[in-house]
């Protein structure tokens, strides 16, 4: 009997060791996963390929693939990225602007939108990353004070910045992921919808509208959308 209890105690000890090792492996995996995601988030070095309207030749040797349609900058935030556009809204969810696989993907224009942003309403998507990376900064715009201090930016359209527009942030909202007026880009209804449903709304202007959309944290059923005017 004593030998039995000793053997059982040994089994229990090895079981505790096995569980401890498993917990450690899970912890290491989570650390690696976070490292991999943030390590493959679009690095700030991509800024070296930002178009310069005064130097059209700058983009000649850029490794950014030909799907680049614009460059978006929101002053005072981390949003300073190339805007891609694929043949659908799936490609750039997990593909970076260099054409490489990336969990953080790219900032990308809806495939139904005109690549020159001449539609009355266009929408751009990006993953909600921590520390304000990609479109992780958009939730700050739900705060009226923050929005009022971060209203300016630039949209350079074309690989060589053939057209440069100032943009003005004017509204923000949390909205359902299946909201047709926003995500089907219903041009005739979007202005009234923004005015009626925004968390923050600063006023109406007769200008084209650019929507910036991201997931609302871990809530896959909600989106945060920030709206900007494209100013001539």
Per-residue pLDDT reduced to its tens digit, 123-134? 999 999 877 788
Is 26 part of a structural domain of the chain?
no
> Using an 8 Å Cβ cutoff, are 155 and 117 in contact?
yes
pLDDT of residue 55: 75
Is 81 part of a structural domain of the chain?
yes
Tens of pLDDT, residue by residue over 29-51, are 343 344 444 444 455 578 888 98
* Total domains present in the chain: 1
pTM for the whole structure: 0.81
Is 48 part of a structural domain of the chain?
yes
Is 16 part of a structural domain of the chain?
no
- What's the CATH number where 154 sits? 2.40.260.10
Residue 136 domain boundaries: 44-231
Query: Which stretches of the chain are DSSP H helices?
Result: 2-39, 144-149, 180-183, 190-197
Is 2 part of a structural domain of the chain?
no
> Using an 8 Å Cβ cutoff, are 39 and 31 in contact?
no
Nearest to 230, CA basis, from 161, 156, 180: 156
């Amino acid at each position: 009997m004593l030998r039995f209890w000793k053997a059982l105690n040994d089994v229990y000890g090895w079981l505790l060791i096995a569980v401890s090792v498993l917990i450690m492996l899970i912890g290491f995996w989570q650390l690696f996963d976070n490292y991999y995601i943030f390590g493959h988030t679009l690095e700030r070095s991509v800024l070296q390929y930002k178009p310069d309207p005064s130097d059209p030749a700058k983009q000649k040797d850029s490794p950014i693939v030909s799907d680049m349609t614009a460059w978006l900058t929101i002053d005072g935030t981390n949003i300073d990225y190339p805007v891609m556009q694929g043949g659908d809204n799936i490609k750039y969810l997990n593909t970076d602007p260099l054409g490489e696989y990336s969990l953080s993907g790219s900032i990308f224009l809806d495939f139904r939108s005109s690549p020159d942003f001449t539609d009355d309403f266009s929408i751009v998507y990006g993953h909600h990353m921590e520390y304000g990376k990609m479109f992780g900064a958009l939730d700050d715009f739900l705060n009226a004070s923050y929005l009022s201090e971060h209203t300016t930016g630039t949209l350079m359209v074309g690989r060589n910045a053939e057209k440069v527009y100032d943009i003005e942030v004017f509204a923000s909202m949390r909205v359902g992921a299946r909201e047709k007026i926003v995500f089907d880009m219903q041009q005739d209804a979007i202005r009234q919808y923004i005015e009626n449903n925004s968390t923050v709304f600063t006023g109406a202007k007769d200008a084209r509208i650019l929507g910036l959309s991201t997931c609302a944290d871990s809530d896959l059923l909600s989106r945060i959308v920030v709206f900007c005017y494209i100013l001539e």
